[in-house]
Amino acid sequence: MGVSVREIIEATGGSLYAGGPVEFTGVSIDSRTISDGEVFFAIKGERFDGHDFVMDALKKGRGAVVERIPEEIPEGRVIITVSDTIKSLQRLARFRRMKRNIPVIGVTGSNGKTTTKEMIHSVLSQRFRTLKNEGNLNNHIGLPLSLLKLKDEEVIVLEMGMNALGEISMLCDISRPTHGVITNIGLAHVGRLGSYEAVRNAKLEILRSVDVIIANGDDRGLMEGITHTRDFKGRVITFGIERDVDVRGLSPVHVESGMEFVLMIEDNKTRVSLMIHGMFNVYNALAAAAVGYSLGLTMEEIKKGLESYRGFSMRFEIIETERGITLINDAYNANPSSMKQAIKELLSIKRGQRKIAVLGDMYELGEYSHSAHREVLEYALTCGLDIVVAVGREMISASKECNAQDTILITSQSPEDALSELQGVIKEGDVILVKGSRAMKMETVVEGLRDVI
């Protein structure tokens, strides 16, 4: 399914300035990777303006959607003018989505969105042709680009990211989800939103758009928020481990290859063996199972989809070294709740001898930053870890107010400094967790350790 000039004009209200009524093979916003036959949307960001690269795009692609007309237009190329290229991209995506009466699953929450989205895709692919947004293309640009890849798929799974109130509503307006998934509510982005309640309200915006909400029944704050949202009249499907929920994980245990648990839906049970580690990934799997259940998949289809899923790099990725040291690369991102979860998982792993946590700064916490870092560090220093390496300005500041007790505390200004410190203390049998916010680039520690051990 290509994208025609007529569609773009109808969806965006734009005007045809040059060229004829052709059909493009796809949409691109990157002049470096645009393919022959695609149309280039010259979007404007904080640090770039796509209009500066229109001529490069037209050398490879077939046309461009612009706010200002380029000085030269190569022969045979199409130019469509619009008032706002980003809004036009979003309108086109919504236009294309509304042509298809198919389930659209929107996934939001403070932790686990990407893994849950990928697990849902794996489960639903057992029966349906399923489209997903790649990686974490989950914002006001990435999500519409993902929607515009829709061809003959029967279901769409979309991760929805947010930094402020109104953003989930905007993404829902573009994608019109029929089903919503809320993995949990934590303090991610609390620095921008100001409070836990504001974070929760931002996630709960998805309720305004969906007919079915799939929610973590063990998250009391989340369930209270749903209960108090009087306008939502749709179906609520809950998942969890601890409480009486619709989709439940019984007896979860850590095994060498990952996690095992008994999946219970209504009166049906089946044992599931995940090829990824972490109790939090059991919750992600239960969310995916609940989506499968809501769309009528069998227990066998759900089980097969969950067991065929393989994890991502830097998301609690376990690496065994030749010297008998275990690295846990969880450096993709961090917030207070995910930090504590990762530390709990480190302690629950049976292998190894000493347990070491290398914890980098957490970002986007605003006025909560110091107290949140202190809380995480206090937990790390009192839960039974052998060594804690606090990395970054905020972690070092928090460490001055924490009592290390029986745990060895090392402070480092940067991941490079932490790597140097670790090389002098690690030994065979150690299990080392590395985690921090994306901007800290804590994977530097993992990569460095892999080179030397």
Mean pLDDT of 402-412: 93
Q: What is the 3-state secondary structure (H, E, C) of 281-340?
A: HHHHHHHHHHHHHHCCCCHHHHHHHHHCCCCCCCCCEEEECCCCCEEEEECCCCCHHHHH
Instruction: Assign 193 a pLDDT band (cuts: 50, 70, 90).
Output: confident
Residue closest to 186 by CA, chosen among 197, 171, 170? 197
3-class SS of residue 215: strand
Q: Is the pLDDT of residue 351 over 80?
A: no
Q: What pLDDT does residue 253 have?
A: 95
Ramachandran assignment for 393, one of left (phi > 0), alpha (psi -120 to 50 degrees), beta (any other): alpha
189: confidence class by pLDDT, cuts 50, 70, 90: low
Instruction: Name the band, by pLDDT with cuts 50, 70 and 90, for residue 451.
Output: confident
**Contact (CB, 8 A) for 27 and 6:** no
Q: Could you give the CA distance from residue 291 to residue 149 in angstroms, rounded to a whole number?
A: 22
**Cβ-Cβ contacts under 8 Å for 325 (sequence gap 6 or more):** 426, 427, 428, 429, 430, 431, 432, 449, 453
The CATH architecture of the domain made up of 3-83 is: 3-Layer(aba) Sandwich (3.40)
CATH class, domain 100-307, is: alpha beta
Residue 312 predicted with pLDDT over 90: no
Taking each helix axis from N to C terminus, what angle separates 415-423 and 443-452, rounded to the nearest 10 degrees? Answer: 30
CA-wise closest residue to 163 among 365, 383, 411, 375? 365
pLDDT at 226: 95
Rounded mean pLDDT, 9-36: 96
CATH 3.90.190.20 holds for 317-452: yes
Residue 6, φ and ψ in degrees, nearest 5: -60, -40
Q: Which pLDDT band, with edges at 50, 70 and 90, does 352 fall under? A: confident
Tokens of 310: 């393989």
SS3 content of the chain, % helix, strand, coil (to 5): 35, 25, 40
Identity at 120, one-letter amino acid code = I
Percent of the chain with pLDDT over 90: 87
Per the CB < 8 A criterion, the answer to whether 24 and 58 are in contact is no
Average pLDDT over residues 307-331: 93
Instruction: Give the tens place of pLDDT for each residue, 117-167.
Output: 999 999 999 999 999 998 778 999 999 999 999 999 999 999 999 988 999
Mean pLDDT of the chain: 95
Contact between residue 268 and residue 303 where contact means Cβ atoms under 8 Å apart:
no
Domains 3-83 and 100-307 share a fold: no
Average pLDDT over residues 263-287: 97
Domains of the chain, by residue range, sit at 3-83, 100-307, 317-452
Residue 191 pLDDT more than 80?
no
Percent of the chain with pLDDT over 70: 99
Q: Is the pLDDT of residue 230 over 90?
A: no
Q: Are 86 and 44 in contact (CB under 8 A)?
A: yes
Helices vs. strands in the chain: H and E counts, helices first: 16, 22
What mean pLDDT is predicted for residues 426-448? 96
Parallel/antiparallel/unpaired status of strands 179-182 and 212-216: parallel
SS3 408: strand
- Contact between 328 and 431 under an 8 Å Cβ cutoff? The reply is yes
Q: pTM (2 decimals)? A: 0.92
